[in-house]
Structure formats: C-alpha cells, structure tokens
C-alpha cells in the first residue's frame, strides 16, 4: 500500500509589522494595570471685573462664582421750588454665591442685601432642570410676575424699577415653581405657589397660598431677560410678548392714629381676594430697545365692594455711541385703587447711561418728573416732584 506523500512546508508568513508608535500619554496620566487612567478633572479659575471670582471644571461638571453688586447714588428732590430731600446713598450692596453642577442642570444661589439699616436675605434658591422643557425651583426667590422684575438688577436700563411695576407685582417670596422652555426660547412658562406673606417671613401666615404664573412667546428669536442687549453691539430684530397672573388671599392692615392720645396702632381690615393680571412687550433691534407693561387688579373684600386698580409704563433706549453711551426715556401712569379718589401718579423720566466696562462699571444720570395726587408712603410730597439722580454701579 503506497504512502501518500507529505507536502513540503510552504514559506512561513513574516511576523505582523508592528503598529505605528502611539503618541505619548498626556502629562498627569497614570498607568494602571497596563492601561492608561484618565487624568483627574482639572479646574479653570477666573478673576476679573467682568467675570468675578470663581472656577469651573474643564467638563463643566461643577462651577462656583462669587461676586458683589454695589450701587452708589446721589439725588435731590424739589417740590414747589423747595428742596425736600437730597444726599448720598448706597441703596444696594449684594454679595452673592452661585453654584452650578452637571452641565448647569442644577443651580444654587444665595444673595443677601447688606445695604440699609438691617441686613436681610434676598435669595436662597435651588433649581433642578434636567431638560430645558421642565425644571423646578424652590426656596426664597423672585416671583415670576412681570418681565422687568425677572430681569437681573445689573442689567436694568434705568437705575431702578418703574414705580408702576413695583406697585402691582408681587415681590420675593418663599415657595416652589415649575419652569421650562421649548423651541430654543420660542415659548417659556413659569407656575409657582408661594406663602404670599413676603420676604424673610418664615412659614405661612394663613392656610392659603399665592399662585403666580407667566407665559411668554418670542416668535423670531430668544429674548433674554436683559434691558441692555445692544451693549455688545447691534442685535437682530426680535420681540417677546408675555402674560402674567396672580391669585392671592390677603389679610390687609391699616395704621390708625388716635386723635386724643396720638398713639398709632395697627388695625386688621377684612380679608380679601386679590386677582392681578399683566401683559408685557419687549422689542430689540440694532441699538434700539423698547419695554412696556400694563396691569389690572381686582381686590374683593369679604365685606364690601370690589376695588380695582390699573397701571401702565413704557420705556425706550438707543445707543448713540455704540457700546458706550445710551439715552433712554420712560413714562408711567397708575390709579392703584378705584376706592381712593386721590392716589393717581404720573411720571416722566429721561436718562443718559455711560458704560466703562459694560454693565460691570457704568454710570447713569437721570431726571424724573413725578406728579402725585397725595403724598406717597415712600416720602414724596403731593404735587409735582422734580428728582435728579446720579448713580455708579459696580458689578463684580
């Protein structure tokens, strides 16, 4: 039986060519078990007038910023040809700490007010917003009624809010709020429940809550809450329309002075239900801006007739010297209570702003003509008041 021939071995394949030499690992990489370990997260620190003091991780997983907002002003008020008030004041000194985590999904803010006779806490809030469409905020913070009130103070066009806006909106309060936006700022909403008894008052003074909601639409582009958008240069046309509402169960009080003893006591008035509605409009184009708001209020006491209030204001500004000099004007009128025959107010204001380092270092010179039917609770006399004000703002 023949044996099958054995095939001669063929040529041996050469060993595989070594791969190209890998680039050296980045500095700080540690070799563990033959592999490369990812370097620890690095921190980027910043310290400047425009950015404040803080740091963030390179992947933006965590960031902290600290700074302070300070305003120094001098003003005079004339009524009937006489100087009724004047002097210098520091109305705002607000240090703040902001923390952000997980690509800004979680935010925290604490901000006190140190100006004035008694320091107080303004903001202590935490926000969790995993997606733009929905988030929740809790703590003591700005209530979402009025576009002007939701604009950060350093970004206001005038040195303070309109007197009309201050009269009709709610202030800071303690509560919780749902918020979100869709369509890259096309639509935004806010819906919150609050104690309704104001700032720095722990707990609730009754069993009811104050409900506040806001819905805004920006059809052309997103409209940030900034009254000086043209500060960085001309902006494309955009506008936003917002509607706001408040429903609150209030327990008003009144100061009564005894004609015989001269002593003043606080008297409780009948509880009342307050419904407030508002609408606002914001327009920005090139170096021009316009902001306006209107309000209606109905207060219905448990005993007695309903009382109505109405108010409106509008303001416009234009950068006559790009990024440096802005001129602005504002008008306002209100009749806060139909039950009071002499509480109407009318205001005309003109202002020139000079920006040295944007809103971080700016100066404003303002004239205001304020006509009151009766003396106001904040010190203005009845009749026509002429107010001149100069202010310097430092925001770090």
Question: Residue 336: which residues within 8 A CB-CB, separation 6 or more?
Answer: 167, 168, 297, 309, 311, 343
At 274, phi and psi to the nearest 5? -115, 130
Q: Given this model, what pLDDT does residue 43 score?
A: 82
Q: Given this model, what pLDDT does residue 342 score?
A: 86
- The answer as to CATH 3.40.47.10 being correct for domain 67-253+268-395 is no
Instruction: Judge whether 158 and 364 are in contact, CB under 8 Å.
Output: yes
Cα-to-chain-centroid distance, residue 58? 27
CA-nearest of 64, 244, 87 to 150 is 244
Instruction: Judge whether 322 and 287 are in contact, CB under 8 Å.
Output: yes
Rounded to whole angstroms, how far apart are CA atoms 131 and 104?
A: 10
Q: Given this model, what pLDDT does residue 149 score?
A: 97
Q: Given this model, what pLDDT does residue 256 score?
A: 82
Q: Given this model, what pLDDT does residue 40 score?
A: 60
- pLDDT tens-place values along the chain, 396 residues long: 444 443 333 433 444 444 444 444 444 444 444 445 555 668 889 888 877 899 999 787 899 999 999 999 999 999 999 999 999 999 999 999 999 999 999 999 999 999 998 999 999 999 999 999 999 999 999 999 999 999 999 999 999 999 999 999 999 999 999 999 999 999 999 999 999 888 877 777 777 899 999 999 999 999 999 999 999 999 999 999 999 999 998 887 777 887 788 788 888 888 899 999 999 999 999 999 999 999 999 999 998 889 999 999 999 999 999 999 999 999 999 999 988 888 899 999 999 999 999 999 999 999 999 999 999 988 899 999 999 999 999 999
Q: Given this model, what pLDDT does residue 42 score?
A: 81
Rounded to whole angstroms, how far apart are CA atoms 227 and 278?
A: 19
CA-nearest of 291, 296, 204 to 246 is 296
């Amino acid at each position: 039986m023949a044996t099958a021939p054995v095939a001669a071995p063929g040529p041996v394949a050469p060993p595989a060519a070594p791969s190209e030499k890998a680039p050296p690992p980045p500095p700080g990489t540690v070799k563990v078990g033959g592999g490369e370990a990812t370097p620890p997260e690095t921190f980027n620190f910043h310290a400047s007038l425009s950015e404040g003091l803080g740091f963030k991780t390179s992947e933006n997983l965590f960031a902290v910023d600290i700074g302070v907002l300070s305003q120094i002003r001098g003003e005079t008020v004339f009524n009937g040809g006489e100087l009724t008030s004047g002097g210098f004041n520091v109305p705002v000194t607000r240090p703040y700490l902001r923390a952000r985590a997980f690509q800004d999904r979680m935010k925290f803010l604490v901000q006190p007010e140190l100006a004035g006779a008694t320091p107080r806490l303004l903001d202590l809030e935490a926000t969790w917003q995993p997606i733009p469409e929905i988030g929740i905020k809790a703590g003591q913070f700005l209530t979402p009624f009025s576009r002007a009130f939701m604009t950060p103070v350093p970004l206001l066009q005038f040195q303070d809010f309109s007197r009309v806006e201050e009269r009709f909106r709610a202030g800071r309060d303690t509560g919780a709020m749902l918020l979100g936006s869709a369509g890259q700022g096309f639509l935004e909403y806010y819906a919150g429940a609050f104690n309704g008894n104001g700032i720095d008052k722990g707990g609730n003074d009754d069993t009811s809550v104050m409900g506040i909601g806001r819905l805004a639409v920006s059809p052309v582009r997103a409209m940030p809450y900034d009254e000086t958008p043209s500060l960085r240069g001309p902006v494309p046309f955009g506008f936003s329309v917002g509607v706001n509402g408040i429903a609150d169960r209030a327990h008003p009080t009144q100061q009564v002075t005894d004609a015989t003893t001269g002593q003043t006591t606080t008297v409780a008035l009948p509880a009342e239900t307050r419904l407030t509605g508002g609408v606002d409009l914001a327009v920005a184009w090139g170096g021009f801006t316009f902001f306006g708001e209107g309000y209606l209020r109905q207060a219905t006491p448990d005993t007695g007739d309903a009382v109505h209030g109405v108010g409106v204001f509008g303001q416009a500004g234009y950068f006559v010297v790009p990024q440096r000099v802005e001129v602005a004007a504002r008008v306002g009128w209100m009749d806060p209570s139909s039950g009071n025959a002499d509480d109407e107010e009318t205001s005309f204001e003109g202002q020139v702003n000079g920006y040295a380092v944007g809103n971080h270092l700016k100066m404003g010179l303002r004239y205001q003509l304020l006509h009151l039917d009766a003396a106001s609770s904040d010190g203005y006399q009845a009749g026509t008041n002429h107010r001149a004000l100069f202010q310097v703002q430092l925001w770090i």
